[in-house]
Amino acid sequence: MAAEQTANLSGNIAGMSAPKSSSNRRGPMQEVDLDAEFDTLEEPVWDTVKRDVLTVGAKFTHVVLPHGDKQQLLRDWDLWGPLFICVGLALLLQHNGGTESAPQFTQVFTITFFGSVIVTANIKLLGGNISFFQSLCVIGYCLLPPFVAAVLCSLFLHGIAFPLRLLITSIGFVWSTYASMGFLAGCQPDKKRLLVIYPVFLFYFVVSWMIISHS
């Protein structure tokens, strides 16, 4: 009985489970229910792609507005959003660099990807009540604010207005740290919470430093 009363954070990929019947299929204009069961074997490819895009967009919404249903991002984890952000950030910073000291695509991608893996491993070693991929999903999706800051600084303020670029990057850094802690704070022992916050803080700080240095 005690196990049934514990919050269920067991995750599945994008909220999908084994298909049962085609009666649960939804029309293209209906609201997507992440807990519903889908029959993806018979539906058109466009419907599958559109549903996945809407699912990723819903998770980005949770990062932009972190006061929503925080458990949904943990239950229905996926790594599509973090992958898009890591690739996009690496492309942006490589595009900006016109010198040999500019970071290459593989360098930025390695720092963002393996940095999030190391932070996730630290959370698990400290006894976090969250799975490895759930934590990786949250940390990756919360890179959205720094990525938006990188887009603004790279495409519109490249090489000019340093104070404005610094302000935008700082806002992205604070926003990402705040959003990630909103999802992860309840999954950590109270006595070890500061040990979890510091690596997350350091990870987003390094990413933000790369953005402000190479934009």
Model pLDDT for residues 26-80, shown as the tens digit of each residue: 444 344 454 455 556 677 888 878 888 888 888 888 888 876 666 666 677 888 8
What's the confidence (pLDDT) of residue 167? 93
The model's pLDDT over 107-143, given as tens digits with 9 standing for 90+, comes to 888 888 888 889 888 888 887 778 888 888 889 899 9
Q: Which two tokens stand for residue 119?
A: 């932070």
Give the integer Cα–Cα distance in Å for 156 and 42: 44
Mean pLDDT of 186-202: 80
pLDDT at 171 > cutoff 90: yes
Give the integer Cα–Cα distance in Å for 215 and 74: 33
Give the integer Cα–Cα distance in Å for 192 and 123: 10
pTM metric for this prediction: 0.72
What's the confidence (pLDDT) of residue 51? 83
Mean pLDDT of 156-180: 88
Distances (CA, A) of 97 to 71, 88, 101, 170, 211: 39, 15, 8, 21, 11
Under the banding of pLDDT at 50, 70 and 90, the label for residue 174 is: very high
Phi, psi of 39 (to 5 degrees): -105, 95
pLDDT at 103 > cutoff 70: no
Question: Tokens 């933000």 appear where?
Answer: 208
pLDDT at 21 > cutoff 60: no
* Domain ranges (residues) in the chain: 76-94+101-214
Half-sphere exposure of 107 (CA within 13 A, CB side): 12
What's the confidence (pLDDT) of residue 182? 79
Of all residues in the chain, the percent with pLDDT exceeding 90 is 13
- Tell me how crowded residue 3 is: count the other CB atoms within 10 A of its CB: 6
